Structures are given as structure tokens and as C-alpha cells.
A and B are shown apart, each in its own frame.
Chain A
Amino acid sequence: MQIPAPFDYARASSVDDALALLERHGPESLIVAGGHSLLPMMKLRLARPEWLIDINDLFELDFIVRDGDRLRVGAMTRHTTLFESDEVRRLFPIITDAERTIADPVVRNRGTIGGSLCQADPAEDLSTVCIVLGAEAVIRGTAGERVVSMAEFHVGPYETSVAHNELLVEVRLPIRPRSGSAYEKVERRVGDWAVAAAGASVSLAEDGTIDHVAIGLTAIGLDGTVTEAEAMLHGKAPSEELFVEAGRLAALACDPLADQRGAIDYKRHLADELTRRVLRRASSRAAEAQEG
């Protein structure tokens, strides 16, 4: 029987209350959102907080709101809510694509976008999605709020720039005109971590050439995006030839490890093939997009 080590439990009633509880209980306290990463780690004693601060009552952080040229997503938005949102599907189909493959429908009822990003697992899909979409993270502390890019947010595996006494409260996604995006993952079975995955976002200029493109890879050793492929695609009209070249560059840019999910060559092959597929789908979605 896997049971966490003993801890004390407190339920926060607001963001300010959560921040006050973090201050009061110090560095041995941890925030729990959906709990589907943290509780398994606590069962295995990989995490051993003295205090667990439950933020599931913070309904103020459960929202998806369009605000001008950006979509604001509250940190406590559940995966299921993201997956089922028509607005998200229309503006950022990459999120819907990714959510379909995150864990399984029952786990998605609990897990949150904020929890996923703060867990910062190298095989976590929404981290790649947010990097590709150029998201910003809104982090609140007792001294106020700060907004950081995903590059600043993501420090390394299981490490983010959210300090112990801070809380990720919101993710902001810029809405670009004539844009499309896509995500595709190869997994061994439902609910498993990715063997590899790729995500892409493409924005077209009025003449149909690529005005902005971002390509991200999951679980195969690439921080940031495939900048070589992005530079190669920029300013050109989308074509199969370019996607093939972008796939080749993605396979070169990644740095996968061999493990039980596959050999290095296989994972590089996936980087290549999945990059082509998501570029193809993102470009065709961008061409169909009616509005920003």
C-alpha cells in the first residue's frame, strides 16, 4: 500500500490566503492542485512536504477568458475544461490536440494547467504547447504580480521560476491573426508519457507566406524551440518540401535518451516525422483561420 508520509493539511480560501499559508509554513510546505503528479510523488517519498496547501477551492483561478488579443487561462483550469472549450479549440487547436493525449479522461477531470506547468516534467505536453504559443506566466507573490515568458518560467526538469512563496495564477496566450497550430504525440498506451511529441504554431502573412512559426518537441531533450527550422521557414510559403527540411532539422536539434520507450534513432525519427505532421496540420489550419 502506497501512502504518503505524514503531513499537515490546510485548505486555502483565496490566492492571498494561499500565499499567507506558504509564508507561515515555510519551505517545507507545498501547493497541491489536481494532485495527480504530486500525490504519486509523495507516495514514493520523492516529495515529502510537512504541509500540504490545497488550492482546489480557488475557483477564482478556474477561467478561460478572451481579453483583446490574448486568451487568459486561470491556473486551476482543469484539463477536461481546456479539452472541451470551443474557444480554445478555435483559437489554439494545439491545446485540444494535446489535451486529447494527456493522461486519460478520468485523470483530466482533476489535473490542471497550472499543476502541469509547475510540475515541469520533461515529458509534459502543456509545457511544449505553451512554449510554442509564446505564452506568458503570471506569478503572484505577497509583493505583487510578475509576468514571465515561458523561457524564463521553465528553468529545467521539475524546476520553474515560481519561488516557494509564490503562486502561478494565470497563463496568457497571444492571439495572432491567420494562425493555426497542432500537436501530435506517440505514446505506448493511453495515459503513458510521450515517447516523443511535437507541436507547431504557424501564422501567415496576408500574402500567405509564413510570418511567424514556432516548433517545440516533448520528451526528447530540447529546451525552447527548433530555431533552425523556424528561421528556415520564415517568410516562405508553406510547402511539403519545407516541412520535410524542417523535420530533418528537428531531428538534428533534439537530444533524446535511449530508455524503455525507445532507442535514440527511433526518437529522432519521431522528431522528424511528427514535426512534418504538425507543420502540415498547423499550416492548413492557419490557411482556414477566419479571424485572429
Chain B
Amino acid sequence: MQISMTVNGDEITREAEPRVLLVHFIREILGLTGTHWGCDTSNCGTCVVLMDGLPVKSCTVLAAMADGHDIRTVEGLATGGVLDPVQQGFMEEHGLQCGFCTPGMMLTARALLDRNPHPDDDQIREAISGQICRCTGYATIVRSVQWAAEHPAGAAATGEEVNA
């Protein structure tokens, strides 16, 4: 079947079987491998993308169900070569070790900050509670999201040059 959606601002149409999961549509058909594919059982959350602005586990959404919807992946976080404050925060506060959970963590963080620009640590922990960091680096992930909350304009606000 033909499936059309907006991905990171681009309208795309591709042919795919109805049984193709959104995570595989994004990775294999669109070639956007920033979205990671992990447990397959909607537990780990590394496959999180934003669907109409809300985090969803793309291993448990059919590409067909996303037809007509707006999808944002980790590739859509930076704009014009400038990192999103969340990405910058993960750099500043060492929010990633192996990096496997990072795309999903960053998208959930982006959606949280869009709704609640000043979350406390508990609210951040609750927001990412459906996502697993295999390095158990949760403390630095929370600090990274707090960095982004404190720097809504990202690196521009720090006055430092960013090597994006």
C-alpha cells in the first residue's frame, strides 16, 4: 500500500506492506537510522519518535497507522546545523555513554520541554520511565535535560561556539 506522512518536515510517500512497523519504515525504507530498534516489545523505548508532537514507541505503531501524520525523528532535532538544546545538553552533561537509548531519550525530552519548559527532576524521570538506558546513566540524562531546560536557546545562550 502507499503510505504518506511528513517526516522531519518533508512530505514523503513510499510503498510498504501494511505489516511494516513504523520503526522499520523509518530505518529501512527512509534510511533514517538515527531511530534505533531495540526490544521489539514496546519496553525499551529506544525506538521513540514524535507522532504529532507526542512520543510513541515506533515498534508498536504500524507505518500504515502513521499515514497522514507528522513524524519527527532524531534527525529532525537539529535545525540548520544548529543542535537542539536537548542535543547540546546531552553533550554538555555527558548524557550518553553507548548512545543506544539516546535518540529516544532526546525525543521524549524534547516533547516534555515543549509542554513543560521547567520540569523538576522527578518529572523528567517520570517522562523517561518507559525508556531503558542499558548503561544505567540516568543521572546524567536527567542533568542533560535540565541543561536544555536552563538553556532554551541552546548553545547560543552560552556564548560558546558549537562544533555541530
Query: A143 to chain B: closest CB distance in Å?
Result: 29
A56 cross-chain contacts in B, Cβ below 8 A:
65
| CA distance in complex: A40, B54 (Å) | 21
| CA distance in complex: A104, B128 (Å) | 8
What 1/0 mask marks residues of chain B from 106 to 150 whose CB sits below 8 Å from any chain A CB? 001000000000000000001101110000000000000000000
Query: B150 to chain A: closest CB distance in Å?
Result: 22
Interface residue ranges of B11-54 to A (CB < 8 Å)? 17-21, 24, 40-43, 45, 48, 54
Contact between chains at A7 and B19 (CB < 8 Å): yes
Contact between chains at B60 and A36 (CB < 8 Å): yes
A109 cross-chain contacts in B, Cβ below 8 A:
54-56
A144 within 8 A of partner (CB): no
User: How large, as a class, is the contact surface on chain A?
Assistant: 20 to 34
B77 within 8 A of partner (CB): no
Contact between chains at B108 and A106 (CB < 8 Å): yes
User: How large, as a class, is the contact surface on chain B?
Assistant: 20 to 34
A190 within 8 A of partner (CB): yes
B1 within 8 A of partner (CB): yes
Given the known interface contacts A40-B42, A105-B127, A110-B56, the answer about A35 and B65 at a Cβ–Cβ threshold of 8 Å is yes
What 1/0 mask marks residues of chain A from 159 to 195 whose CB sits below 8 Å from any chain B CB? 0000000000000000000000000000000110000
A222 within 8 A of partner (CB): no
B82 within 8 A of partner (CB): no
| CA distance in complex: A2, B127 (Å) | 26
| CA distance in complex: A195, B4 (Å) | 42
Contact between chains at B62 and A35 (CB < 8 Å): yes
Partner of B130, one of A7, A8, A103: A103
Interface centre among A7, A54, A104 (most CB of B within 10 A): A104
Given the known interface contacts A8-B18, A191-B130, the answer about A106 and B65 at a Cβ–Cβ threshold of 8 Å is no
Q: Closest residue to A78 on the B side, CB-wise?
A: B54
Contact between chains at B40 and A2 (CB < 8 Å): yes
* Interchain Cβ contacts under 8 Å between A and B, 29 examples: A1-B40, A2-B40, A3-B19, A3-B21, A3-B24, A6-B18, A6-B19, A9-B18, A9-B64, A11-B67, A36-B57, A39-B21, A39-B62, A40-B41, A43-B40, A52-B18, A56-B65, A105-B127, A105-B129, A105-B130, A106-B45, A106-B48, A107-B130, A109-B54, A109-B55, A109-B56, A110-B56, A110-B60, A191-B43
Q: Add 14 more A-B contacts to A9-B18, A11-B64, A36-B60 (CB < 8 A).
A: A1-B24, A35-B61, A39-B21, A39-B60, A105-B55, A106-B45, A106-B55, A106-B57, A106-B130, A107-B42, A107-B60, A107-B130, A109-B54, A110-B56
Which residues on B are within 8 Å of A, measured CB to CB? 1, 17-21, 24, 40-43, 45, 48, 54-57, 60-62, 64-65, 67, 108, 126-127, 129-131
